């Protein structure tokens, strides 16, 4: 196809049929154009346009107003809470995720299939339900709620519940990314390291971790994106205390409902920016993971 | 370093991988564990290395209990079937790994590590690959790097799991010769696992033939080939013709025909007659123990190969024999076959 269209045609007597037309594997130009055009239109209307609108709205009253909106104490508190929540829940899921993936990929034990299913649970449950679970657990009428209240420990409608709900919802990301990768890599390299005298920790740091690092980063990236963007579960457990238990997504909704459109979109633009950064990082990581896969002749 | 394995039993779920195995390996030996897949040979190797643990039995190195030590403390070099090179490390770092993970107190200096790795890469003749990564190496090169890495820790025992299994035929032949030369040079007690009889017979000083978790025979390559101890060994090593016979009153019977063969004190009852393909003398009809019609003749190399339909065995059994080129054989000829050497094993032995 490229030969026929891009190089200067050789002087030939009869007008040659372009290769592309004779190649039955490619569609006629018109069909191709239609399909590509349709896909592009769809993408523009449903993805690009909303994204552009977010930024357009955010800056509709100028950069100064945009910055003022972000510097509002309530906004700063929400940004801070979102960051803290993300750091803690990503950190926890990093540890849990590696441990779970390690157990599933490298050992045989009873109930393994059940554990794999359990890891997927947060994906299959509606985030609202995930939040409600914690309300039922820690609420005033809940399982351990009264006991906690009697001891002056605040979990529900406070930061701990937000962290717990976020951790729950984002649990599968790291584990799900690592399990197939570790299963594919097997445990021979670890066995080799051990037989060469490496202790458990050395084996993990020098052999296992380098082999899974790109997959791990990928899982962390997705986990982080979801942790910062989580709305449903956090909304249920947060209590919406202004300046205290509002994360960025919650604040976006509150401001929007109060007709503070520009302020609302200013915060939303930060989340959109996070999405874009995530997307780019994800693309880079995917190519790195591909390189780390075992070669077919191994 | 001698290795003594006693009464080892290993089960995986309901499958018995090793069933009461005893084995003694002498210092400086190059021993082959030979058997079909599922015979337990790799499991035995992994137990000696400390990568698997037996359900019962003992393993000792020079009389010292090896099971009391973990894999890392046994000073065993292990070469994995698929090499298991550390894919994110250069060849140099792969070989240096065992030296770098040593406890700080006995760890060598960087200069010493460098010198040692260089020596090892020289030994496997791949010093020019030090900066490459495993994915950039050929199969044979990976195999040699895996060996250099295992040797880096100055192992008292070298264990190799199907060392040539994943290589193509030509490289495999070269590496075999090379491994034997290397063993003569470093002389460390070595065991390798293989399912390839040619490999075992050509490389090892002693061959252990295994089947279904049991040791069938231990002997020199000559012994296991010439004097197979069991029907399994005869059938597994070398190519054999196997005929179902019956021993009755000290006579060997094939179908309704009595063969002119000495039963050699074989127990009465259904048995199997084993003959090597080249151990059958072809003669004119009526001159030998077996009779048959020539069906096909294929001549190549120093011998010719003929398919012969034996009479007297029910519907007739087709066997393949090797005969000298000068022996004139044509399809349709009726010939006699006289075993020069043969063995009889009772059914189920």
CB B101 to CB A206 under 8 A? yes
CB A196 to CB B150 under 8 A? yes
**Number of domains into which chain A is organized:** 2
What CATH number is given to the structural domain containing B285? 2.40.50.140
Structure tokens given for B171: 């490289």
Do B77 and B39 belong to one domain? yes
Q: What are phi and psi of A268, to 5 degrees?
A: -60, -35
- Asked whether residue A22 carries a pLDDT value surpassing 70, the answer given is no
Residue A12 in domain: no
Name residue B290's beta-bridge partners.
B337
Do B255 and B221 belong to one domain? no
> Which residues of chain B make contact with A207, given a CB cutoff of 8 A?
86
Residue A124 in domain: yes
Do B156 and B127 belong to one domain? yes
Domain housing A231: 62-292
As to burial, measured by CB atoms within 10 angstroms (0-12 exposed, 13-18 middle, 19+ buried), residue A45 is exposed
DSSP B268-318: SEEEEEEEEGGGEEEEETTSSSEEEEEEEEEEETTEEEEEEEETTSTT-EE
Which of A15, A40, A58 is the C-terminal boundary of a domain?
A58
Which of B170, B202, B233 is the C-terminal boundary of a domain?
B233
Residue B91 in domain: yes
Do B169 and B114 belong to one domain? yes
DSSP A174-233: HHHHHHHHHHHH-SHHHHHHHHTT--HHHHIIIIIHHHHHHHHHHHHHHHHHHHHH--HH
Do A243 and A264 belong to one domain? yes
Which of B206, B233, B260 is the C-terminal boundary of a domain?
B233
The top-scoring range by mean pLDDT among A25-34, A143-152, A209-218, B279-288 is A209-218
B297 CB near a chain A CB, below 8 Å? no
Whether the CB-CB separation of B143 and B80 falls below 8 Å is answered with no
Residue B267 in domain: yes
Give the mean pLDDT of chain A. Answer: 86
The confidence band for A150, taking pLDDT boundaries of 50, 70 and 90, is confident
Of A197, A206, A207, the CB nearest to B72: A197
What CATH number is given to the structural domain containing A150? 1.10.3720.10
Whether the CB-CB separation of A165 and A155 falls below 8 Å is answered with no
Do B197 and B76 belong to one domain? yes
Of B71, B85, B86, the CB nearest to A195: B71
Q: What share of chain A has pLDDT > 70, as a percent? A: 89
Do A194 and A230 belong to one domain? yes
Residue B243 in domain: no
The confidence band for A289, taking pLDDT boundaries of 50, 70 and 90, is confident
Do A195 and A156 belong to one domain? yes
**Number of domains into which chain B is organized:** 2
Count of CB pairs separated by less than 8 Å, A with B: 71
> Which residues of chain B make contact with A202, given a CB cutoff of 8 A?
101
Residue B130 in domain: yes
What CATH number is given to the structural domain containing B66? 3.40.50.300
Q: Which residue has the higher pLDDT, B171 or A36?
A: A36
As to burial, measured by CB atoms within 10 angstroms (0-12 exposed, 13-18 middle, 19+ buried), residue B162 is buried
A interface with B, Cβ–Cβ < 8 A, is 188-189, 191-199, 202, 206-207, 210-211, 292, 294-295, 297-298
The confidence band for A297, taking pLDDT boundaries of 50, 70 and 90, is very low
In a mutational test of the A interface, the residue from B15, B66, B71 whose CB has the highest number of chain A CBs within 10 Å is B71
A68 Cβ neighbours under 8 A, 6+ residues apart: none
Do B297 and B204 belong to one domain? no
The confidence band for A195, taking pLDDT boundaries of 50, 70 and 90, is very high
- pLDDT value at residue B33: 96
In a mutational test of the B interface, the residue from A196, A201, A205, A206 whose CB has the highest number of chain B CBs within 10 Å is A196
d(CA A245, CA A130): 18
CB B72 to CB A292 under 8 A? no
Do A50 and A122 belong to one domain? no
Describe the crossing of helices A172-185 and A73-106 by its angle, rounded to 10 degrees: 30
- pLDDT value at residue A198: 93
pLDDT in tens, A58-108: 999 989 999 999 999 999 999 999 999 999 999 999 999 999 999 998 888
Do B126 and B255 belong to one domain? no
> Which residues of chain B make contact with A191, given a CB cutoff of 8 A?
51, 71, 78, 80, 84
Residue B241 in domain: no
> Which residues of chain A make contact with B150, given a CB cutoff of 8 A?
195-196
Whether the CB-CB separation of A240 and A254 falls below 8 Å is answered with yes
- pLDDT value at residue A15: 58
Element (H, E) at B216: strand B214-219
- pLDDT value at residue B346: 84
Describe the crossing of helices A73-106 and A209-229 by its angle, rounded to 10 degrees: 140
> Which residues of chain A make contact with B83, given a CB cutoff of 8 A?
298
Question: Residue A198: which of B127, B2, B86 has the closest Cα?
Answer: B86
Min Cα distance A107 → chain B (Å) is 13
Do B88 and B115 belong to one domain? yes
Residue A5 in domain: no
pLDDT in tens, A103-136: 998 888 888 889 899 999 998 999 999 999 888 8
Question: Residue A176: which of A114, A98, A241, A229 has the closest Cα?
Answer: A98
Residue A298 in domain: no
Min Cα distance B102 → chain A (Å) is 7
Residue A4 in domain: no
Domain housing B205: 3-233
> Could you give the ipTM of this predicted complex?
0.84
Of A196, A294, A297, the CB nearest to B97: A196
Which of B183, B207, B233 is the C-terminal boundary of a domain?
B233
- pLDDT value at residue B13: 85
Q: Mean pLDDT in each 10-residue stretch from start to end of chain B (349 residues)?
A: 94 91 94 93 95 94 93 92 92 95 91 94 91 92 93 93 84 87 90 92 94 94 91 89 85 80 81 87 80 85 84 72 81 86 80
Do A43 and A169 belong to one domain? no
Do A108 and A184 belong to one domain? yes
> Which residues of chain A make contact with B70, given a CB cutoff of 8 A?
194
Residue B239 in domain: no
Element (H, E) at B32: strand B30-34
Do A45 and A67 belong to one domain? no
Structure tokens given for B292: 């048959």
Residue A14 in domain: no
Do A43 and A110 belong to one domain? no
Residue B242 in domain: no
Do A40 and A165 belong to one domain? no
The confidence band for A242, taking pLDDT boundaries of 50, 70 and 90, is confident
Q: Chain B, 300-339: which have a CB under 8 Å from a chain A CB?
A: none
Do A29 and A108 belong to one domain? no
Do B284 and B161 belong to one domain? no
- pLDDT value at residue A2: 40
Structure tokens given for A259: 């007709």
> Which residues of chain B make contact with A292, given a CB cutoff of 8 A?
87-88
Do A50 and A193 belong to one domain? no
Do B41 and B143 belong to one domain? yes
> Which residues of chain B make contact with A192, given a CB cutoff of 8 A?
78, 80, 84-86, 149
The tokens 């399909």 sit on which residue? A35
d(CA B297, CA B305): 6
> Which residues of chain A make contact with B98, given a CB cutoff of 8 A?
196-198
Residue A215 in domain: yes
CB A199 to CB B101 under 8 A? yes
- Asked whether residue A3 carries a pLDDT value surpassing 50, the answer given is no
d(CA A165, CA A85): 10
Do A221 and A149 belong to one domain? yes
Name residue B218's beta-bridge partners.
B208
Residue B264, phi-psi category: left (phi > 0), alpha (psi -120 to 50), beta (remainder):
left
CB B72 to CB A210 under 8 A? no
């Amino acid at each position: 196809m490229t030969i026929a269209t891009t190089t200067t045609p050789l002087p030939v007597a009869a007008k040659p049929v372009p290769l592309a037309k004779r190649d039955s594997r490619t569609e006629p130009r018109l069909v191709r154009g239609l399909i590509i055009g349709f896909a592009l239109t769809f993408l523009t209307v449903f993805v690009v346009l909303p994204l552009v609108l977010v930024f357009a709205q955010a800056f509709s009253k100028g950069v100064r107003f945009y910055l003022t909106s972000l510097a509002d104490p309530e906004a700063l508190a929400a940004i801070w809470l979102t960051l803290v929540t993300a750091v803690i829940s990503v950190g926890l899921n990093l540890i849990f995720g590696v441990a779970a993936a390690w157990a599933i990929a490298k050992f045989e034990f009873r109930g393994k299939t059940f554990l794999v299913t359990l890891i997927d649970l947060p994906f299959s449950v509606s985030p609202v339900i995930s939040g409600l679970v914690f309300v039922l657990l820690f609420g005033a009428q809940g399982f351990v709620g009264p006991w906690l209240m009697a001891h002056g420990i605040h979990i529900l409608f406070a930061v701990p519940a937000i962290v717990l709900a976020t951790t729950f919802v984002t649990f599968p990301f790291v584990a799900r990314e690592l399990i197939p990768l570790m299963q594919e890599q097997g445990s021979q390299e670890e066995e080799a390291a051990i037989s060469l005298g490496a202790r458990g920790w050395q084996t993990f740091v020098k052999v296992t971790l380098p082999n899974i690092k790109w997959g791990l980063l990928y899982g962390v990236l997705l986990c982080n994106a979801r942790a910062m963007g989580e709305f449903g579960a956090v909304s249920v457990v947060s209590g919406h205390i202004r300046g205290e238990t509002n994360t960025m997504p919650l604040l976006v909704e509150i401001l929007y409902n109060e007709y503070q459109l520009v302020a609302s979109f200013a915060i939303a633009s930060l989340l959109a920016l996070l999405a874009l950064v995530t997307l780019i990082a994800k693309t880079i990581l995917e190519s790195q993971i591909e390189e780390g896969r075992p070669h077919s002749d191994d | 370093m001698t290795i003594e394995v006693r009464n080892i039993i290993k089960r995986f779920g309901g499958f018995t991988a090793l069933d009461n195995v005893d084995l003694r390996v002498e210092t400086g030996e190059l021993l082959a564990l030979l058997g079909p897949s599922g015979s337990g040979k790799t499991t035995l190797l992994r137990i000696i290395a400390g990568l698997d643990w037996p359900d019962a039995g003992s393993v000792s190195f020079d009389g010292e209990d090896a099971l009391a030590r973990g894999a890392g403390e046994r000073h065993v070099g292990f070469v994995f079937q698929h090499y298991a090179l550390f894919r994110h490390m250069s060849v140099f770092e792969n070989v240096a790994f065992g030296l770098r993970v040593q406890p700080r107190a006995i760890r060598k200096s960087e200069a010493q590590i460098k010198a040692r790795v260089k020596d090892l890469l020289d030994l496997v003749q791949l010093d020019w690959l030090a900066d490459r990564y495993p994915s950039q190496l050929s199969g044979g090169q990976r195999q040699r790097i895996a060996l250099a890495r295992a040797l880096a820790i100055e192992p008292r025992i070298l264990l190799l799991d199907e060392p040539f299994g994943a290589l193509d035929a030509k490289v495999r032949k070269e590496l075999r010769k090379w491994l034997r030369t290397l063993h003569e040079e470093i002389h460390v007690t070595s065991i390798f696992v293989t399912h390839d009889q040619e490999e075992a017979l050509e490389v090892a000083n002693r061959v252990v033939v295994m089947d279904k978790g049991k040791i069938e025979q231990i002997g020199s390559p000559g012994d296991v080939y010439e004097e197979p101890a069991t029907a399994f060994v005869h059938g597994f090593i070398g190519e054999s013709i196997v005929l179902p016979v019956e021993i009755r009153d000290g006579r060997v019977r094939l179908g309704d025909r009595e063969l002119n063969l000495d039963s050699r004190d074989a127990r009465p009852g259904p048995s199997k007659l084993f003959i090597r393909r080249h151990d059958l003398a072809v003669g004119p009809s009526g001159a030998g123990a077996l009779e048959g019609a020539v069906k096909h003749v294929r001549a190549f190399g120093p011998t010719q190969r003929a398919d012969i339909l034996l009479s007297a065995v029910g519907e007739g059994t087709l066997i393949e024999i090797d005969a000298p080129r000068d022996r004139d054989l044509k399809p349709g000829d009726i010939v006699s076959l006289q075993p020069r050497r043969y063995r009889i094993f009772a059914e189920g032995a």
